[in-house]
Amino acid sequence: MKRVRLKILCTSLFAVVLFFASCKKEDDNAKYNSKGTYIPTKIDPFSIFPAELGMPSLPSDNPFTIEGVYLGRMLFYDPILSYDSSISCASCHKQEFAFSDPVAFSPGAFGLKTKRNAPPLYNMAYSKHFFWDGRANNLRDLVFEPIQAHNEMAMTLPKLEGKLKNATRYIDYFNKAFGHEPNLVDMSKAIEQFMLTIVSNGSRFNRFFPGDSIQLFNMSELRGAQVFNGLVHFDPVTKFTPGADCFHCHGGELVQQQNFNMGGLANNGLDDVLTDLGYGGIVNDPKKYGTFKAPSLLNIALTAPYMHDGRFNTLDEVIEHYSDKMKFNSPNIHTLISSHGGFQLNLTTEQKANLKAYLMTMTDNKLITNPAYSNPFKK
Ligand code: HEC
Ligand code: HEC
């Protein structure tokens, strides 16, 4: 009796194994539909975006696929996108610096330089405003700006299309990802897919947020959090303020105010006389002159130099600006900064050190070492 049972068990186990083996075979075949067209492998967005950050709203006509994201990554790292094949996106957006550039103005094709500092790239899926002046709101269209800018990639679109069509490494990939030979629309969609997958959520700050795991921070970092998240409130006699109110414009787990009407767009008092009109220049509105997108401060220790023109080389200089060197006469300076009676914050040496320590907790080492974002041509 026992033997019979064992035999049945063995046979059914064998059947199960066979079943799975045949499934696997069918899966492989399922990469091609009945007409022999390759079907790319979908990626579940829940495997990309962490629960703590939530699910961003994603473009409905460009679902993530393994092939699409990989193609986008190749294009991001490929100098073929520039006129003389000398500059790739990654020449100015370097992974080790959270995809920013450690120089104030990046050299583009023919040695010409950018007019603003190359910002870091991560968590773009959560953003609807791109560039320092917020002039772009869609990554797919944005891609064509650096490609065609004379001081970045200096490329013409017909020439680019020709180069892609002739590159053997792309013919197969475009076909697999999009079912077409290389073309510019699919190129921009692939780069969009790749950029959307770049997520930064691995810093100690992100584990600390919203502040209920205080054991993750030392005393200095905790005090820094109080300076950062405390309101400006001067003692009438000593003029000491416990808080510097950074969080209104750089708040939440993305350390960025997304709403342009709530501090997400601001003049933070850098200059009495404006040299860059920022968002005001885009919308042609003098009341907005000198306003810029408030950047995320995640990875801030990696992304020097700072501000739209890279004027500050260190976080100490940034903190000194907010504490002691605010230009209250700057046109359109934000009320969150100017409404304290025009006093400099005059943070103490200790407050400054603590604030810096807090900012340093925002570095995500996983972002800068994640092989999924690295140069696919260097193995
Ligand atoms: C020569 C340097 C250079 C190259 C090459 C370059 N960029 Fe940039 N990138 C910049 C600079 C500078 C800015 C900021 C421009 C501004 O705000 O006006 C920027 C801004 C961006 C932004 C906006 C980020 C944000 O949060 O606002 C994205 C996205 C971006 N670049 C993607 C790319 C892609 C994709 C490529 C390749 C197709 C590329 N860049 C090539 C220098 C460069
Ligand atoms: C009213 C909104 C506002 C407040 C308050 C504010 N910031 Fe900013 N912050 C901005 C804007 C806007 C920029 C970009 C300005 C530019 O480049 O012209 C910026 C830029 C920065 C940068 C440079 C980021 C980069 O990638 O280059 C750092 C660092 C920074 N702020 C830290 C702070 C700290 C620390 C505080 C509190 C002491 C603070 N901010 C308060 C709006 C604000």
3-state secondary structure 232-286: CCCCCCCCCCCCCCCCCCCCCCCCCCCCHHHCCEEECCCCCCCCCCEHHHHHCCH
Under 8 Å CB-to-CB from 348, ≥6 apart: which residues? 240
Among residues of the chain, what percentage have pLDDT more than 90? Answer: 87
- For residue 82, the number of C-alpha atoms closer than 13 Å in the C-beta half-sphere is 25
pLDDT exceeds 70 at position 116 = yes
pLDDT value at residue 3: 53
Structural domains in the chain, sorted by start: 45-200 (1.10.760.10), 204-363 (1.10.760.10)
3-state secondary structure of 293: strand
**Structure confidence at residue 30 (pLDDT):** 60
Q: 181 C-alpha to center of ligand 2: Å? A: 44
From atom 19 of ligand 2, which residue's Cα is the shortest distance away?
294
Mean pLDDT of the chain: 93
| pLDDT tier at 22, thresholds 50, 70, 90 | very low
pTM over 0.85: yes
The tally of CA atoms less than 13 A away on the side-chain side of residue 48 is 27
Nearest bound ligand to CA 146?
1
The Cα–Cα gap between 175 and 341 comes to: 62
pLDDT bucket at 34, cuts 50 / 70 / 90: confident
Q: How far apart are CA 94 and CA 198, in angstroms?
A: 13
Residue from 89, 196, 375 to probe ligand 1 pocket by mutation (most atoms less than 8 Å from CB): 89
What is the number of the ligand 1 atom nearest to the C-alpha of 107?
1
Residue 293, strand partner residues: 265
Q: Strands (DSSP E) along the chain, which ranges? A: 265-266, 292-293
Contacts of residue 123, defined as CB under 8 A and 6 or more positions apart, other chains included, come to 53, 198, 199, 200, 201, 254, 296, 298
Closest Cα partner for 109 from 37, 159, 162?
159
For range 26-42, the mean pLDDT = 78
Q: 30-39, 65-74, 330-339: which has the minimum mean pLDDT?
A: 30-39
Would you state the pLDDT for residue 211? 82
Q: Tell me the average pLDDT across 302-329.
A: 98
CA of 344 to the centre of ligand 1 (A): 34
Q: What confidence tier does 12 reach under pLDDT thresholds 50, 70, 90?
A: low
Residue nearest ligand 1's atom 2 by CA: 92
For residue 333 and ligand 2, the question of a CB distance below 6 A is answered with: no
pLDDT top residue among 93 and 209: 93
Per-residue confidence band for 271, with pLDDT thresholds at 50, 70 and 90: very high
Q: Give residue 98 CA to ligand 1 midpoint distance, Å.
A: 13
Dihedral angle, C-alpha 208, 212, 217, 220, nearest 10 °: 120
**Residue 5 pLDDT level (bands cut at 50, 70, 90):** low
**DSSP helix/strand/coil, 357:** helix
- Ligand whose nearest atom lies closest to the CA of 292: 2
pLDDT surpassing 80 at residue 61 = yes
Does any ligand 2 atom lie closer than 6 A to the CB of residue 133?
no
pLDDT confidence of residue 225: 97
Determine if the peptide bond prior to 305 is cis (ω within 30°).
Answer: yes
Q: Which residue's CA is the closest to the ligand 1 atom numbered 35?
A: 143
